[in-house]
Amino acid sequence: MLFQIFDAFKPRLHDSNSKVNQVALESMHKMIPLLKDNLSPVINMLIPAMVDNNLNSKNPGIYAAATNVLQALCQHVDNSLLLQPFCTKAQFLNGKAKQDLTEKLA
């Protein structure tokens, strides 16, 4: 069930419409404290969708929402579940996104 929900939700996290994208990130920020470690089956799918373009976005609303999502993940999800997906993404990112994710890893 969780896979079906997030399979449908994931494309909104990098929607070409910036308002849709921002609302999806803000919604994800609200979901994380509720779902916590129950996100573990979908975390490898969600982190790339949340991070890829959003942390390098020139839109301040999208960038702020993306950093809030990262912060919520670090606060509410077991760090051992985040280590591998964060390391994998940090290898291939550039710019501000790489810096932000590397700081979270540290």
Residue with tokens 């890893």: 105
Confidence label for 1 from pLDDT (cuts 50, 70 and 90): confident
| 72 within a domain of the structure (yes/no) | yes
How many Å apart are CA 79 and CA 37, to the nearest integer? Answer: 10
* Alpha carbon 88 to its chain's center: 13
Q: What is the pTM of this model?
A: 0.92
Instruction: Please tell me the total count of domains within the chain.
Output: 1
Q: What is the pLDDT of residues 27-43, one digit of tens each?
A: 999 999 999 999 999 99
| 51 within a domain of the structure (yes/no) | yes
| 8 within a domain of the structure (yes/no) | no
How does DSSP classify residue 39? Answer: G
Give the domain extent around 66. Answer: 19-104
| 25 within a domain of the structure (yes/no) | yes
Cα angle 24-85-61, degrees, rounded to a multiple of 5: 30
